[in-house]
Amino acid sequence: MALAEITRTPRDYSLTGPEARHAVEAGLASAEWYHSDVPRKVMKDLMRRTDGPAIRDTAIWIGLLILCAGGGIATWGTWWTVPFWAVYGVLYGSACDSRWHECGHGTAFRTIWMNDAVYALASFMVMRNPVSWRWSHARHHTDTIIVGRDPEIAVMRPPDLARKALAFIGIPDVFQHFAILARNAMGRFGPAERDYIPEAELPKAVAWARAFVAIHVLAVALALATWSLLPLMLIGGPRIYGTWHMVLTGLLQHGGLAEDVLDHRLNSRTVLMNPVSRWIYWNMNYHVEHHMFPMVPYHALPKLHALIRDDLPAANTSILDGYREMIGAMLRQRREPGYYLRKELPPSARPYRAEFHALDNERH
Amino acid sequence: MGDWVDVCALDEIEEEDVIRFDHGGRTFAIYRDMEDGVWCTDGLCTHEQVHLADGLVMDDTIECPKHNGRFNYKTGAALRSPVCVALATYPARVEGGRVKVQV
C-alpha cells in the first residue's frame, strides 16, 4: 500500500495488521530516539536508586488506605462514610496505577523485592495481569505511540470522547480488564498479547490471573452472602468509583499529540501539577522526561525537568491548561483524524528524524 | 579465545560504572567495580539492542537504560525482565594501570 493511502485511511491500531508491518518497514520499530544531552556524571546521580522516598510514600499510602477503610467501615450506613470512601477510592483506584508503573520499571525502590511486592499489589488493584503488562509496557517504551506497535495508545484517532468520559468511572475499562484477566486465567491469550509476551512467560501470567480473579470472585461472593456492598467498596469497586484521577492524569500523557515520531518531546506531554496530584501520580506528570530517561526514579524527575527543560517544549502550566490544549485537538481529530498538536521545540533544539514528522503531516 | 586488547587507563572508568568500547566491528561494555576489578560483556542489551553503557551499575548488576532489565555483569546472567537471555562475558584484567579485555 502506498504511504499516502495508508495515512489517509482510518488507522489500524492492532499489533498484527498492516500498520504494524508499515511501522517496521518505515524504521519506526525499535528505533533510536532523541535524548537531550545530560552529562554522564549528572545522569548517574539522577538515576541513583534509594529505598527511602518510596518506603515513606508507600507507608503513607498503605497507612491512609487502612485508615480510610477503617473509617468507612465504622461509619457505613451514614453520610459520614462518604469522605472516607472518596479518599480510599482514589488511593486504591488511581494511585495504584502510578505504583504499578514505577515498580514495574523497578525504579521506585532500590531493593528488588520491594519493587516486586508493591508491583504485585498495585497490579491487583488496577486489575492488570502483572506479567502481560510488564511486557506491554516495555513495548510502549520501545515504540511509544507508534501505530501498530504500541499496545498502550490510550487515545486513538478519531477519539471516542463519550468512551473517554465514561473511563472516568471505569466504564468499560474495568469490565474489559476483568474479562482479560478471566481469559488469561483460562490460559487464553489474544494475538496482540502473544505478540509482546514471550511464550515462556505465559504460565506465570496464567497463575497471576487465576489468583487475581479468585480474590475478586471471593469479594463478590462475600457481598452476596452478606447482602452488602461493603466488600466491593473495599475490593474491586474503587477501580470504578476512585479511578477518575488516574484517567484525568493518564489521558494527558500523550493525548492529541503526534503519532509515529521518534522524539518524546513531540508525542508526550509534561504538565505542571498541584502537589497532591503529583503524589498520587508519583510525578508522572513529567512524562517527556520519564520517556526520555526511564531509569530516573519518580522522586528525581523534578530535578531532571529543571535540568533539560530548555530542550523541551514548554510544559503545560496546570491540569486545566493541559486539558484545554488536549480537548481542542481531540475535538478536531473527530473530524480530521490526521490532525495532531505539534509541540513547538525551543529555537535552540534540534529536530530529530524530521522525515517522520513530515510523514505525519501528510495526514492533515 | 581472541587476543587481549587494550581498552583504556583504569582511571578512565569511574568506580561502579561502565563505558562503551567498540572493537573489530563489535561493541562491548567495560565495567569497573568498587574493588577496582574490571569486567567485560557484550555492549548491547539482549532484549532490544540498546547500549548498556548508558545504563546504571549497582553492585554487581547493570540495568538497561531503555526497559530497566538487569544483568549480573560478572556472570552475564539475566536477572530481571524484560531481559531473558544472558549476556556474553569476556575475560578482563588490569595490567600496568591499563584495562585489557580478551575478545
- CA of B58 vs chain A CAs: smallest distance (Å): 9
Residue contact B80–A112, C-beta within 8 A: yes
In the A/B pair of chains, how many CB contacts fall below 8 A?
42
- The number of domains in chain A is 1
- Nearest Cα neighbor of A19 from A112, A131, A146 is A146
Q: At what angle do helices A52-74 and A95-105 cross, to 10 degrees?
A: 150
The complex's ipTM works out to 0.85
- Which residues 74-103 of B are in CB contact (within 8 Å) with A? 80-82, 84
**Nearest CA of chain B to the CA of A29: how many Å?**
10
For B48, the closest of A107, A142, A295 (CB atoms) is A142
pLDDT of residue A289: 98
Point out the residue among B55, B58, B67 whose CB comes nearest to the CB of A138: B67
Q: What would the mean pLDDT of B53-75 be, rounded to a whole number?
A: 94
Which residues is B72 bridged to in the sheet? B61
Residues A73-91 pLDDT 10s: 999 999 999 999 999 999 9
Would an 8 Å CB–CB cutoff place A36 in contact with chain B? no
What are the chain A neighbours of B80 within 8 Å (beta carbons)?
A: 106, 112
Q: Do B68 and A47 touch (CB under 8 A)?
A: no
* Averaged confidence pLDDT in chain A: 92
Phi (first) and psi of residue B101, to 5 degrees: -130, 150
* Residue A352: predicted pLDDT: 64
Report the pLDDT value the prediction gives residue A358, as an integer from 0 to 100.
55
Which residues 6+ apart lie within 8 Å of A58 measured at CB?
A99, A118
Contacts of A105 in chain B (CB under 8 A): 68
Domain hosting residue A281, numbered range: 3-361
Give the domain extent around B49: 4-102
E strands, chain A, in order: none
Q: Please, what are the averages of pLDDT over each run of 10 residues along chain A (364 residues)?
A: 46 90 92 92 94 98 98 97 98 98 96 95 97 91 94 93 95 93 96 89 96 98 98 98 98 96 95 98 98 96 96 97 97 93 85 61 44
| pLDDT exceeds cutoff 60 at B85 | yes
3-state secondary structure of B30: strand
- Provide the shortest C-alpha distance from residue A6 to chain B (in Å): 27
Interface of A with B in 100-159 (CB under 8 A): 105-107, 110, 112, 134-135, 138, 141-142
Nearest to B55 among A105, A141, A295 (CB): A295
Facing B84 at nearest CB: one of A30, A200, A295: A200
Amino acid symbol at B32: R
CA distances (Å), origin A239, targets A102, A168, A209, A278:
19, 10, 17, 19
Give the pLDDT of residue A355. Answer: 62
CATH number of the domain that B78 lies in? 2.102.10.10
- Mean pLDDT for all residues in chain B: 94
What integer pLDDT is reported at residue A299 of this predicted model? 98
Contact A11, A147 (CB under 8 A): yes
pLDDT digits (tens, 9 = 90+) for A105-118: 999 999 999 999 99
Write the burial class of residue A171 (CB in 10 Å: 0-12 exposed, 13-18 middle, 19+ buried): middle
Total Cβ atoms within 10 A of residue A42: 12
Amino acid sitting at position A232: L
Cβ contacts (< 8 Å) between B67 and chain A: which residues? Answer: 138, 141-142, 294
pLDDT of residue A364: 40
| Contact predicate B95/B88, CB 8 Å | no
Residues ≥6 apart with Cβ < 8 Å to A182:
A209, A213
